[in-house]
Every structure is written in structure tokens, then in C-alpha cells.
Structure 1
Amino acid sequence: MVRVADLEKGNYWRHLGMSTIVGADGITRVQLTVSDELLQFYGNLHGGVIASILDSAIAIAVNQQLDPEEGATTVELKINYLRAISEGTLWGEGKVIKKGRNLVVAQGEIKNDTGEILAIGTATFMVKQMTR
């Protein structure tokens, strides 16, 4: 099983500047501070970065539901961008809706420091048996 610490060690996570924080409520969230390098032409955070935070937050929730011999990969991601983002710290959180033998359906949201919801999404992950 992939652990949260393993996800964080990935080059892509480091490239974007994503990290995880375990809240007082025990929920693991993805954190990202907006930087100039992540803004698109119009000065807003690139939609791909928002998608990455959301996918990563949902992946954390999914991975916490897997058996030790299982892994999972995203096969579908649907996002609603609710507000333009140009600064601040973002928090992504995911939750599993249904885990089946082969597929997991989950949802997530991204909020800013004031708790305003900036994007929401749903994802489907394929469960795979890990081979060593």
C-alpha cells in the first residue's frame, strides 16, 4: 500500500510545493501556497495546479482505505472551479464515497485559509493488486 509519506516524496509533489498536514480532527489535507511560478497568463493559479491538489487530496483518502496489498490510480477526475485563485494558502481534502473491489469513487474540495470553497470534484480510482 502507498502511504501518505510516499506520495509526498514524489517529484511532482515537490515541484508544485504540495505537502500534507494532519489536522486536529485527524484528517490529512494537502497544502499548497500559491507562488508566481504557478500562475497562468492572467495572474490566476493554473487550473492544472488546482486539479493536482484535488487529485492528490482525494488520493490520500483513497489510499487510506486500501488493503496492504492494494494500490490505486485515477481513471476519472471531474472538477468544478468555483473561484479564481491568485494568492494564499490552499487546503485540499478528500473523502471516499464507495470502495468496491475494482473501483473507488471519492470526492474532494479545495478551500482557502478562511474556509471558502474554491473548487470541488469527484474522482474514480482503479484498485490494483500490488506486485513486488
Structure 2
Amino acid sequence: MTEIERGKSAGRSDSWMRLEEAARATFWGYLGCEVVQADSRQSLIRLKLRPEHLNLLGIVHGGVLASLMDNAMGLVVMIGSPDDKTVTANMNIQYLKSANSGTLSCEARLVHRSRRSFTLQSSIYGEDGDLLAWGSGSFRLVI
């Protein structure tokens, strides 16, 4: 169980339910992401690994992990600034451990917000609770 799951109930919010529904026809839906909890400060999303998420070594592809982090952090930003368009400006990821099956959980937390930018951190956990990757990202408003 992740820190967000321990600290919050997984009640569904209308704002992110609408976002998730709209995203089903995009890369989000293609990956298979599912929102568990989200608000303007943090989010928790999950991804059940499928064979197409793996690389030739039989482990989850780093790009899938990066996309999972980008989606979790971006969700916080979209909820926190619903009337604005935002883009990922930078992401840094540390790959710590591999996985090849099960469900991944990715949590993201807002670290700092200014008038035009957001800074977040994110962690991905395997089904056994092991930390697989840690990262940070900055997002900016498109003006």
C-alpha cells in the first residue's frame, strides 16, 4: 500500500473522473492507466502490466515508467489549473528496480507552484511495494 493510499480514502472526484473519461481515447487510455485518487496536491494512478509494456529483456520498458510518471504528475497539474493549458517542461527519472508483471502504482505530489510553473515529484511502486523508480518534473503554463 502506498503512502497516498494509507493517508487518504480513494473516493472518486467528479473533476478527475471527467478527465479520465476524456483521456481514454488518448495515449493515457492506450497505456491502460487508471486513476485511484487525485486532487490539486497529489495523485495516485495504477497500471496493470501487459506484454506490450515490456521490452526485449522481458521487463517493463523505461518509457512506460516515464509515461506513468508524466501522467500522474500531469493529472495534479491539470486539476490544480483546470482553465489553463500546461505542458511538461522537464522530467528526471531514476530507475531503481525492474518489474515484469503485476500492477504498478504511481504517486505524484506537488512540491512547488509559482504563477506559471509547477514542480512535482513522483514514485512508482511494484505490486510487492518495492520502489521501482523515482522522479521529478516541471510543468509550465502555455500562454
Same structural fold, with TM-score higher than 0.5 when normalized by the shorter chain: yes
Q: Deviations over 1:38-59 (max 9, x none)?
A: 1111101111000000111111
Q: State the distance in 2 between where 1:94 and 1:64 align.
A: 13
TM-score, normalised by the number of residues in structure 1: 0.84
1:74 — aligned with what?
88
Q: Write the mapping of 1:11-50 to structure 2, written as runs, cut at 5 A.
A: 11-22=26-37, 28-50=43-65
Cα deviation, residue 128, structure 1: 2.9
SS of equivalent to 1:40: coil
1:57 — aligned with what?
72
Aligned-residue identity in percent: 27
Indicate conservation of the 8 Å contact 1:18/1:31, yes or no.
yes
Q: Which has the higher helix share?
A: 2
SS of equivalent to 2:73: helix
The residue identity in structure 2 corresponding to 1:128 is V
Indicate conservation of the 8 Å contact 2:24/2:30, yes or no.
no
Q: Deviations over 1:21-43 (max 9, x none)?
A: 128xxx64111011111111110
The residue identity in structure 2 corresponding to 1:95 is R
User: Are positions 1:89 and 2:103 aligned together?
Assistant: yes
Q: Deviations over 1:37-91 (max 9, x none)?
A: 111111011110000001111111222322x422311010110011011111001
Indicate conservation of the 8 Å contact 2:45/2:105, yes or no.
yes
Q: State the distance in 2 between where 1:35 and 1:88 align.
A: 9
How many residues of Structure 1 are paired with residues of Structure 2 in the alignment?
124
Indicate conservation of the 8 Å contact 2:84/2:142, yes or no.
yes
The residue identity in structure 2 corresponding to 1:6 is L
Indicate conservation of the 8 Å contact 1:43/1:86, yes or no.
yes
Indicate conservation of the 8 Å contact 2:43/2:73, yes or no.
no
2:10 — aligned with what?
none
Cα deviation, residue 10, structure 1: 4.0
Q: Which runs of 5+ in 1 are unaligned?
A: none
SS of equivalent to 1:30: strand
Q: State the distance in 2 between where 1:76 and 1:22 align.
A: 24
2:126 — aligned with what?
112
Q: Which has the higher strand share?
A: 1
